[in-house]
Structures are given as structure tokens and as C-alpha cells.
Structure 1
């Protein structure tokens, strides 16, 4: 009789332990699928969510002048125009070409006759990147942020 009671107790303990593991597994599975859903949301990109077409301007550093005043115009047909004026040098360079989107629609690559540059597209700004697509760093990094000109829509 003691043997039957002992086996019954062991069976109940074993079954209740299995039930707890099952509940914990469900919580873990639910938690990981919630994390996956957040991480995989690629529907919204700079390319399709932001009003990126327009004119942006910045004065970027220059080795032998006071700076280069640069205007970049991005157009909805995935073309661009760029005008760079070398301050106090009486030199103006103009170019145009195609806009290619990279990094799931968050980076534009401008290619023209004289232009080959990558920019990260943000809310009303373009952020200059190096040729490998990394953010420009250092004390002058803020000078490579092109701000959108108010009222410009193309």
C-alpha cells in the first residue's frame, strides 16, 4: 500500500513539473516572437516614409578656401543636381546624375560625371558618409549635415 501511495506522489510531482516547464516554454516562445516582430519591421524606410525630395544645403570644409557651399537637389524621379561654390575662390562646379538607394532605402548614392557620394537620408536632412558608407567622424562631422531648404518640394 505504501508503495502505491509513493508511486502516486511521484507521478503527481513529475506531471506538475512537466506542466510548469510547458508554461515557461510558452512564455519564452511568446517573448521571443515579440522581439522578432519588432526587429523585422522593414516596411518603413527613408525612401518610402520621408518627404526626401527637395534641396539641401551645407557649407563643407575646404583645405584651401573658407568652405564649399553645396546645394544638393534630390528629385522624385531618382535624379539629382549638385552645385558647389568655393567661397572666396570664384569657382562653381555643377553636376547631375542618378540617385541609387542602398541599405534598405536609408542611404542614397549619388553618381554623376564628377560626383560619387553617399548620404544617409533623415528627417529634413542628409548626413554625409564616407565611400564605404560609414558616418563621417571627428570634430567637423557636423559640417557634413545638409539641411533641407524650407519650402522646397520636387
Structure 2
């Protein structure tokens, strides 16, 4: 019985090492395309405690419409380096050392000519 417990524990530790371990804490900024407005200025702050703040300003008809969202993020268990913003309808982002990129619901970068990247600033 002790051998089974030890094997189970070792297997669980091995599985944990497959999860993303790098720190993604920081601020990411950029302008995103918008289907019904001129552009969206976005700032995403990822904290080490797995919380985030997503600040956006929609530019439409020469007016600015700011929006602030706060919540938690979780790592996608099927794709390394992909996280989901839980209060944002599970907005999915690919995380690199220099930027985050908006992905489709499956965690794949959006295939378009438009730029869906927010560059790391801090």
C-alpha cells in the first residue's frame, strides 16, 4: 500500500511540473482592433497572486468609453503558456516573455492581419 501511495504522489508531482511555472506578472499595453469602433487602447496588469486588472478605452464616434475589469486568471490545462481571464468570458491569452496575444476559445492565436498583441512594459 505504501508503494502505491508513493507512486501516486510521485506521479502528481510530475504532473505539476508540466504546468507553466514562469512569472507572468507585469503590465502589458497596446491598441487592439475593434469591429464597431476606431480602436481599443488596452492595458492588462497581471499580478503574481493570479489576479488581473484589464483597463480598456473604446474610441467610437470621437468619444472615449473607458472600462475597467478585475478578476482572476487561470492557466489552461491543455496548452502551456495560455491563460484565461475568468471575469472576461474566459478571454484566452498566449503569454510570452515580451507580450500577451489574444487567442480564440481553443487557445490558438487569432489568424488575421490585425495585431492582437499587448506588449510587456514592466
Range of TM-score over shorter length? 0.7 to 0.9
Larger radius of gyration: 1
Given that 1:107 and 1:118 are in contact with CA atoms closer than 8 Å, whether structure 2 keeps it comes out as: yes
Given that 1:95 and 1:115 are in contact with CA atoms closer than 8 Å, whether structure 2 keeps it comes out as: no
Are 1:96 and 2:70 matched, yes or no?
Answer: yes
Aligned residue in 2 for 1:71: 43
Equivalent of residue 60 in structure 1, options 7, 12, 32: 32
Given that 1:52 and 1:124 are in contact with CA atoms closer than 8 Å, whether structure 2 keeps it comes out as: no
Structure 1 runs, 4 residues or longer, greater than 3 Å off: 42-45
- Determine which structure has the larger helix proportion and give its number: 1
Q: How does 1:4-153 map to 2 (within 5 A)?
A: 43=17, 47-49=20-22, 51-87=23-59, 88-102=62-76, 103=78, 105-112=80-87, 114-140=88-114, 143-149=115-121, 152=122
User: For the residues of structure 1 that align with 2:40 and 2:116, how far apart are their CA atoms?
Assistant: 11
Q: Please say which of residues 59-68 and 69-78 is displaced more in the overlay.
A: 59-68
User: For the residues of structure 1 that align with 2:105 and 2:80, how far apart are their CA atoms?
Assistant: 17
Aligned pair in 2 of structure 1 residues 123, 148: CA closer, same or farther (>3 Å)?
Answer: same
Structure 1 residue ranges without an equivalent (≥5):
1-41
Aligned length in residues: 104
Given that 2:79 and 2:107 are in contact with CA atoms closer than 8 Å, whether structure 1 keeps it comes out as: no
Structure 2 residue ranges without an equivalent (≥5):
1-15
User: For the residues of structure 2 that align with 1:61 and 1:104, how far apart are their CA atoms?
Assistant: 25
TM-score, normalization by structure 2 = 0.75
Given that 2:50 and 2:74 are in contact with CA atoms closer than 8 Å, whether structure 1 keeps it comes out as: yes
User: For the residues of structure 1 that align with 2:18 and 2:105, how far apart are their CA atoms?
Assistant: 25
Aligned residue in 2 for 1:27: none
User: For the residues of structure 2 that align with 1:139 and 1:104, how far apart are their CA atoms?
Assistant: 23
